[in-house]
Structure 1
Amino acid sequence: MIPPSDSNTTEQVKNALKRFWGYDDFRPPQQEIVEAIIRGQDALIVLPTGGGKSICFQLPALLKNGLTIIVSPLVALMENQVKELHDRHLSAGIIHSQMSPIQRRQTLHQLQNNSLRLLYLSPETLLSKPVWNLINKPQVSINGLILDESHCLVQWGDTFRPDYRRLGAVRPTLLKHKPPGSKIAIAAFTATADPTAQNTIKTVLQLQDPQEFILSPYRDNLHLKIRRVFTPMGRRKCLLSLMKQHQKQTGLIYVRTRRDSQELTAWLETFGYKTAPYHAGLSAEKRRKIESQWLEGKLQFVVCTSAFGMGINKPNVRWVVQFQPPLLLSEYIQEVGRAGRDGKPAEALTILCEPTGLLYPEDRQRLSFLQDNFRQQMMTAKPLIKKLPQKGHLETVISRFPDSAIALSLLHSQGKLEWVDLFNYQIKDTSLSLTENSNTVAIRQMTRYFATRDCRWKFILEAFGLGTEAQSFRCGHCDNCDRHGS
């Protein structure tokens, strides 16, 4: 281990990269990001999938004094990154609900003794009493907070995982209990954040004059295709057709539910394919085994939900099929971006039902469910807000009003509530407007993407706020460009 220091030179940083990861040099703009985080600056980083973002926060954490906390959305993602760090004999820990009590106590002991450089937590675990009370102690030295996959704050923060909305109060609450002069930098990383999402992330996290590294998601080796089908069997035939074009090449098949992953796997096995279903309902041991088999080439492909892929690096994925369409462009980019990380040609196919949905209504039913669920949450929240105290302690309020966490999150998303600290809120306005949330707007954007006759990469660039780059853009290798002879 290199002795920790907060005054690392560029040469020291490059030496550490070589020693820990075996790389001679950084990819642009990794070095600039690493040095900004080492200097203790807030940062917003939007790097394409496969852009090597984990090194950008892991390396500074290993070189700085104290602990860096990484807030991450999925247990599988955290476990993969911690395993890779342990394989390199680097100091990292993880706490999540599926751990044994012994494992949990061991990590908490390391945390209390300041013997960890990186600690991976979900938002819910970070804000749980046992973990928070320990992190909050003056003697536990914390230098930074990293929000990995920060687009999840926008996707899920309003109505699914409301603890994301409280993360902006973490730094000021911690600093009240740390020695005078303590500094905690915050960096948010994602591969998918349009300008609206970027502003939400900066506002919610209360980033202070952040350095911004916003890179284009465009990948000139990734061929994007959309196919429409009329029946469930048509969807399966479309899948088989692409798989035959990529015989023995590594791929991924994305579905939307655990049941779909199991049923599609069973159907493909009848054709002699050796594969496995992968979803968040599997044990950590089972997930790890499937990941290893796929990474080692023992499985050609995996039939998976969105729980698979984040943080798993396999360069030679030649094809990705979204057997059912994602609802959000951020999900779309994350999933198709698993293909072609080695820079060689790769194909991403999304299968949709025909436009009316009359003959094959499955895709539209999934869309309607999400929208109806949001409307129901809004209708539940509106009368509840009238009953909530204007100022309150979260745990006390939740014990009295079990649905209040989402109601408070919705108020916060509309700028009508502020978190005084992590556990106390103040409502400024109770008139919650029955407006569309960010996901509803994003769903419409995804629908427009599927319907566009223009270059698909041009649409994506415009959606990510890269209008100048998108002007007169033609990738020449999406289905629309193929159709128009570009």
Structure 2
Amino acid sequence: MKPTEVLKTYFGYDTFRRGQEEIIEAILRGRDALAIMPTGAGKSVCYQVPALMLPGITLVVSPLISLMQDQVKALNDAGIHAAFINSALTEGQIRKALSLASQGVYKIIYVAPERLESWEFQDFAAHTEISMVTVDEAHCISQWGQDFRPSYTKIVDFIRRLKRRPIVSAFTATATETVKTDILRSLQLANPKVVVTGFDRENLYYSVEHIRKKDDFILDYIEKHPADSGIIYCATRKNVDKLYEELFKRSVAVTRYHAGLGGVERKKNQEDFIYDRSPVIIATNAFGMGIDKSNVRYVIHYNMPQSMENYYQEAGRAGRDGEPARCILLFSPQDMMINRFLLEQKDFSELTGEEARLIRQRDTRRLQTMEQYCRSTECLRNYILQYFGEEMEGPCENCGNCHREYTEVDMTEEAKQVVRCVTETRGRYGIQSVIGTLMGANRARLRELGTVDYESYGSLKEKNEADLRALISQMVSEGYLHQTEEQYSVLKLGDTTPLMEEDTRVILRTWKAKEPEKKKKAARSKNTDGQTSTGSELFEVLRKLRMEIARENSVPPYIVFSDKTLIDMCVKLPATEEEFLEVSGVGENKLKKYGKQFLEAITEFQQEKEEKGEK
């Protein structure tokens, strides 16, 4: 079989997406590979297709139990024999799985990195033909990544012990240039094929809302999208519990997830979300890595994340099926205080003093970058892409900032006063002290520092704090000021020479934030083809059928078919098995398992419409 035939037979797709074929061909030629592809771009296909074509077994090293279980269920549902080895299994189950694997029953085995060190697994590997070792979530091996896991460093030792070195492939959605270089070095990839397909997720709509009444915003959003599945991220367990209680009281089908809950409850709540029993989940960032749920239509951040890497990864859990999805960040100045506090609580006991200092600097820099994103008035998509080293030709015209109406205010003179104040501080104080001084605030701290005697003290007392904070953020991004990366960062002068030139202007773009209207009932939004009400009605019929089949088979609904596949059914209206195979995401195994039920549902729906005289 050719790679395209494997793709169609098992996964139901006619063509590869960008970057997939390149990686697959390199692997089949025996080369190591590193692929950096955004969530939803089909990374798993890049190793699953060659795994079915290579002679031996492919081991997939994966960090989370939930990811392994989802992937194995999806593969078995597609007619591919796969298994996982992790702490969720008993020792007897593990021995049975390894025995069946050694007999050639499984082509793909998912394994936790910790398991590689066990004698039993090493003995299995020594007596089994292993064609490829795939490292999923490869950024976990880098100390510069946001999810460094020491257990990942053992992968190289495991590979080195094998009698014959297999092909090594690595995949991640989140890697700056520094992390990419570190992955290549740490995994010791030999002459690897490196493919970076870009970080743009065109189906995601990014927006930042500067808002005080966050609970009201979320209630309003859920009321307007009652059938949609979504994740709401909070910075603290306290916020998770508080928002959960609020939504539960309003009869929202909601669950929660954080490290303070017991293991049994966490597992149940996660499954309730994955199986769509509770379409909305409120969680800390302990939740989500490896969650393969394809029909998440929105991700809302109740608090600002600590880094762009975290935000990109968490927001990227929306719209994995390629259909439109929203990524909304609710920002308030208090978020900076919460995140600084959380960073201060980090445990550096296992690091040297110098390592701890460097990581603190990195964390502070990432937090500053995240705040600038929240305060930016430029295209949000471009901001994200530029952070990861990608350039765009112009604004995306498909994000909250591109669709916002701005008022432009000349703040050149105010900018000069900021420079004057920072000059007087001699670069010793932070943003809060500089703003307080400019506004002439009556604070004991300012009297203690002596800034009440500055010439700049009170020079901008008529301005509001939000505008001054936005102005300083803009001046930092334009290089007039520099914010240090220490734990308690201070403002220093950057290159202020252009500001002294007569024709230089500092223009601040402002807008008025709108609080949500309470108790306002809105029409439900649809995420189907959007063409006709008939298409939306059929989508609901097929979605209900999918839920029934999922419950009967004890699998998540999206493993039966994704929303994208249901939408394609609504567009193509297949009437025969041959036509059903033309639907995107329908392979031969799924045709055998589910084709009859879906074809009957589509035919019955059309007949009812014809009887009513509708089209």
Q: Which TM-score bucket, shorter chain as reference? A: 0.7 to 0.9
Output the CA distance in 1 between the equivalents of 2:256 and 2:355: 41
Which one-letter code corresponds to 1:451 in the other structure?
Answer: R
Output the CA distance in 2 between the equivalents of 1:481 and 1:282: 43
- Answer yes or no: is 1:463 the counterpart of 2:387: yes
Q: 1:50 Cα deviation (Å)? A: 0.7
**Superposition map of 1:1-400 within 5 A:** 12-135=2-125, 137=126, 139-154=127-142, 161-174=149-162, 178=163, 182-229=164-211, 234-256=213-235, 260-278=239-257, 282-283=263-264, 286=268, 289-294=271-276, 298-306=277-285, 307-308=287-288, 310-315=290-295, 317-354=296-333, 361-370=337-346, 373-374=347-348, 376-378=349-351, 381=352
Could you tell which deviates more after superposition, 257-266 or 237-246? 257-266
Task: Name the counterpart of 2:401.
Answer: 480
Q: 1:258 Cα deviation (Å)? A: 5.7
CA contact (8 A) 2:57 2:132 kept: yes
Q: Deviations over 1:194-214 (max 9, x none)?
A: 111111111100111211111
Output the CA distance in 2 between the equivalents of 1:377 and 1:322: 31
Aligned length: 402
Question: Structure 2: 5+ residue runs without aligned partners?
Answer: 407-508, 510-615
Equivalent position SS for 2:52: helix
Which one-letter code corresponds to 1:161 in the other structure?
Answer: R
CA contact (8 A) 1:158 1:165 kept: no
- Answer yes or no: is 1:452 the counterpart of 2:376: yes
Output the CA distance in 2 between the equivalents of 1:158 and 1:237: 31
Which residue, out of 435, 438, 441, partners 2:358? Answer: 435
CA contact (8 A) 1:321 1:350 kept: yes
Equivalent position SS for 1:276: strand
CA contact (8 A) 1:70 1:147 kept: yes
Q: 1:262 Cα deviation (Å)? A: 4.5
Q: 1:311 Cα deviation (Å)? A: 4.5
- Kindly report the root-mean-square deviation, in angstroms, between the aligned alpha carbons of the 2 structures: 3.0
Equivalent position SS for 1:94: strand
Question: Structure 1: 5+ residue runs without aligned partners?
Answer: 1-10, 383-430
Alpha-carbon distance change, 300 to 112 in structure 1, aligned in 2, over 3 angstroms: closer
CA contact (8 A) 1:246 1:319 kept: no
Output the CA distance in 2 between the equivalents of 1:131 and 1:299: 37
Output the CA distance in 2 between the equivalents of 1:463 and 1:211: 23
Q: 1:146 Cα deviation (Å)? A: 0.8
Alpha-carbon distance change, 348 to 196 in structure 1, aligned in 2, over 3 angstroms: same
Q: 1:45 Cα deviation (Å)? A: 0.6
Output the CA distance in 1 between the equivalents of 2:146 and 2:244: 33
Output the CA distance in 2 between the equivalents of 1:165 and 1:133: 20
Which one-letter code corresponds to 1:16 in the other structure?
Answer: V
Q: Deviations over 1:37-78 (max 9, x none)?
A: 222211111111111111111121122111111111111111
Which one-letter code corresponds to 1:266 in the other structure?
Answer: E
Output the CA distance in 2 between the equivalents of 1:346 and 1:98: 32
Equivalent position SS for 1:454: coil
Q: Deviations over 1:155-202 (max 9, x none)?
A: 68799631223333333332xxx1xxx341111111111111111111
Larger radius of gyration between Structure 1 and Structure 2: 2
Task: Name the counterpart of 1:407.
Answer: none
Output the CA distance in 2 between the equivalents of 1:312 and 1:265: 23
CA contact (8 A) 2:18 2:197 kept: no
Aligned residues: percent identity? Answer: 32
Equivalent position SS for 2:401: helix
Q: 1:263 Cα deviation (Å)? A: 4.4
Which one-letter code corresponds to 2:382 in the other structure?
Answer: K
Alpha-carbon distance change, 268 to 155 in structure 1, aligned in 2, over 3 angstroms: farther
